Amino acid sequence: MSQPWSLTYLLMYQVMHLGLFNRDSLVESVARRQGSAVNFRVGGTSGDFSTLVLDQAEAVIIPPDEIGNNVAYNITIGPSWFEGFRNFPGVEWVYQVPLVYLNKTNSIEGLKIAVSAIGAENLFALEIGNEPDLYPAKWSPGDYASQWLAFDKTIRGEVSLPKGSIIQAGTIAGVGVGDWTLPNLFSTDIDSTNMVKTVSTHYYQWFGVNPPEIERDLMNHTALVSTMANTTLAAQFMSQNYPSIPFVMGEVGTYPGAINNYKVEQSFAATLWNANFILYAMSQNVSRISMQQGLGFGYSAWTPGLDPDNGNQGPGVWGPYYAFPFAADFIDGATDLQVVPVLQQEKLVAYAGYESERLSKLVIINLEVWNKTTSSPRPSREVKFQVPPTVTKAKAEKLTAPGADVGEDITWAGMRWTYQSKGLPEQVIHDTEIISAVHKSLTVNIQSSQAVMLSMLLDHEGIDPSQLLMCN
């Protein structure tokens, strides 16, 4: 399992050229904890609707009528745009080749420059196009597969790439909507060349005229499971029918139409939504998650420079970021991690992590909404985990904040990340505890709007997940 980010073409310029504070700090904090390289996917609608202009001095030019849009169409890219890839050595890259204009010559020219800047050894996969189910030409899965195969053939004939499968296929916006299902996609010839390395679909928690709400959409596990239903079916299809092709969620966010919805999408409620989403997705056979980042996107984890679509807010680190070191600590370098949801209620969820079939982590997330402005005392509840008799102690670390509605003073394991700290973690409080097992149970007191992670400290034997959790 790896994480974490998908970058739009517009944000990628800031991240790679202006935002070096995030290279050795924000990114490294996640990579070090999860025990593997961070994977960046560079793509999206703006990238698919882009054109390379070789004699353009500027890295990116946005058409005047697209300025101010968080998804800009018909942008042009200059060669200097690609130089940003060199600023992040050691990162795994998924690079999107534009497809929608069907301009093979221009797309291949850009790909050659990208591969040179990225380095073939750092290129994890290529995407051909983005969200073909939303193309103006109203493509079917068969139309997409036909054009995809033609581009794939040209790419393999003209670009020097690592041997073996290299393409991340699909990139479907609405998997399960109409004809756009993975069974339909794989009934075409899309895998006839054996070049499909991974399959990707995209996911947003809320679609609607109005932005998401904290209680209805973010602090609500029932809503997450319901909205994830088609994605879960897609992941099951791949694991049952194409187990050698990992299923990934290549672009994820809370609300695709959310521009400047920062009060909700940068709140601690969004932190907890991200944490819950990542663990739930891991439990549903999702091998990689790329959380979307972009200028003007309220759900971005950080902004590396000034954000012109948000009154020049930034640079800064926002609420959603804290879910990533949290999830990375849950992974903790495990290469065979199994994630099991042991409790799924609308306002209370718990997950167990097994490494080599041995219990290593337990997480409890309390989604009861408690705001900083609430006048009553902050409630808490007691949760008991039954554990093997060889587990005598566990380390308890908290993902917490003054309330679900705030976007500041968030901490994970007592640490915070800010632009002022150059993106490096600062220990600002000491709230980690050592909990002793009593009668083969670990008891946790967890406040409303909070998450707690238990790390087993001693060797232990297996336990049936269905017998793991008891709640009081």
CB atoms within 10 A of CB 263: 13
Dihedral angle at the C-alpha atoms of 82, 86, 90, 94, nearest 10 degrees?
Answer: 0
pLDDT of residue 309: 53
pLDDT at 95 over 70: yes
At 22, the pLDDT band (50, 70, 90 cuts) reads low
For residue 347, give Cα distances in angstroms to 173, 218, 299.
28, 11, 22
Least-confidence region, from 5-14, 294-303, 365-374, 413-422: 5-14
The SS3 call for residue 386 is strand
Spell out the alpha helix ranges (H) of 242-322: 262-265, 268-283
Dihedral angle at the C-alpha atoms of 182, 183, 184, 186, nearest 10 degrees?
Answer: 80
Judge contact between 7 and 14, C-beta under 8 A. Answer: no
At 367, the pLDDT band (50, 70, 90 cuts) reads very high
Token pair 């909990």 is at which residue?
A: 435
Please report, rounded to a whole number, the percentage of residues in the chain having pLDDT higher than 70. 89
pLDDT of residue 84: 83
pLDDT at 460 over 50: no
pLDDT at 188 over 80: yes
Distance CA 444, CA 446 (A): 6
At 347, the pLDDT band (50, 70, 90 cuts) reads very high
Q: Which of 394, 391, 384, 278 is nearest to 339 (CA)?
A: 278
Please report, rounded to a whole number, the percentage of residues in the chain having pLDDT higher than 90. 69
Quote the mean pLDDT of the chain: 89
pLDDT at 276 over 90: yes
Q: Across residues 313-338, what is the average pLDDT? A: 90
For residue 380, give Cα distances in angstroms to 29, 351, 430.
30, 19, 19
pLDDT of residue 338: 95
pLDDT at 302 over 60: yes
Q: Which residues of 33-66 are buried (b: 16+ CB within 10 A; e: fewer)?
A: bbebbbbbbbbbbbbbbbbbeeebeebbbbeeee
Q: Across residues 47-63, what is the average pLDDT? A: 95
Least-confidence region, from 23-27, 30-34, 78-82, 270-274: 23-27
Q: Give 25's DSSP letter.
A: T
For residue 93, give Cα distances in angstroms to 43, 135, 222, 309.
11, 25, 33, 26
What is the token pair recorded at 405?
Answer: 């509605």
pLDDT of residue 20: 55
pLDDT at 265 over 80: yes
Q: Across residues 131-139, what is the average pLDDT? A: 96
pLDDT tens-digit map of 213-242: 899 999 999 999 999 999 999 999 999 999
Q: Phi/psi of residue 216, each to 5°?
A: -70, -40
Judge contact between 354 and 338, C-beta under 8 A. Answer: yes
Q: Which of 216, 189, 206, 353 is nearest to 278 (CA)?
A: 353
Distance CA 350, CA 343 (A): 5
Q: Which of 400, 414, 406 is nearest to 450 (CA)?
A: 400
Q: If you count DSSP H runs as helices and E runs as strands, how many of each does the chain have, helices first?
A: 11, 25
Distance CA 247, CA 171 (A): 11
The SS3 call for residue 2 is strand
Q: Which of 50, 164, 46, 170 is nearest to 113 (CA)?
A: 50
pLDDT of residue 258: 52
pLDDT of residue 233: 97
Token pair 């299923």 is at which residue?
A: 247
What is the token pair recorded at 399?
Answer: 């993902």
CB atoms within 10 A of CB 217: 20
pLDDT of residue 303: 78
Domains of the chain: 4-333 (3.20.20.80), 338-471 (2.60.40.1180)
Distance CA 126, CA 160 (A): 13
pLDDT of residue 384: 95
pLDDT of residue 469: 54
Q: Residue 151 is which amino acid? A: F
Q: Across residues 188-205, what is the average pLDDT? A: 94
What is the token pair recorded at 224?
Answer: 């997450």
Least-confidence region, from 160-174, 206-220, 277-291, 441-455: 206-220
